[in-house]
Amino acid sequence: MESKKLVIIGAGGHGKVAADCAEQQGGFSSIIFLDQGGSEHKDYPWPILDKPENFARFIDGNSSFFVAIGHNASRDRWTQALIAGNAPLATLIHPTAVISAHSQIGAGTLVCARAVVNPFTSIGISCIVNTSAIIEHDCKVNDLVHVAPGSCLAGNVEVGRASFIGIGTSIVPGIKLGANVQIGAGAAVTKDIKDNCLAVGVPARIIKSLPSC
């Protein structure tokens, strides 16, 4: 099978991680970026050829696309734009990640170095399973969720759409988080959390309601 060109939207720090993961995963003939601030990234080893809004110019039958934006709402906007424009989404999985053959990883998702996804777990579209994150058996992680580095979701956890699990968070078995939930760094989640809430601490407690996304 011919290698595809990878077109990455977003040349920030997360973009660097995505491009490095793609290089180590292999299977791409070249990697290019689309970003608003091309002149600000002169040290990049990958060329920045255009702005994101011009992505359609790069749809050629041999390109796949990846949105490398950490902010969930912005990643959602560009993911939906690519889907509407019939731009195929790439899925990036670092070779040191451990993913069960009985789990599913959605299109446009990044699984970073040393992450673990155990059996019968589903990961949605355009998610981020960041460095050394652990997602245990029978979890459901909906679209656009970001599980930050070193976080651990125990078995049978469900995470709603576009939620953010802060670095080093632990979530006990069977917990359900709603959509657009944000969990602060180092939290221990021991109770369900409804939609559009910010929770922090050990044990995690809701401290703020968030605007719907």
Provide the annotated active-site residues. 137
**What whole-number distance in Å separates Cα of residue 55 and Cα of residue 136?**
36
Phi first, then psi: give them for residue 73, nearest 5 degrees. -65, -40
The distance between the two most distant Cα atoms of the chain, rounded to a whole number of Å, is 51
Complete DSSP assignment for 41-68: GTT-SS-EEE-GGGGGGG-SSSEEEEE-
Tokens 């689309």 sit on residue: 34
Cis-peptide into 203, omega within 30 deg: yes
**What whole-number distance in Å separates Cα of residue 138 and Cα of residue 78?**
29
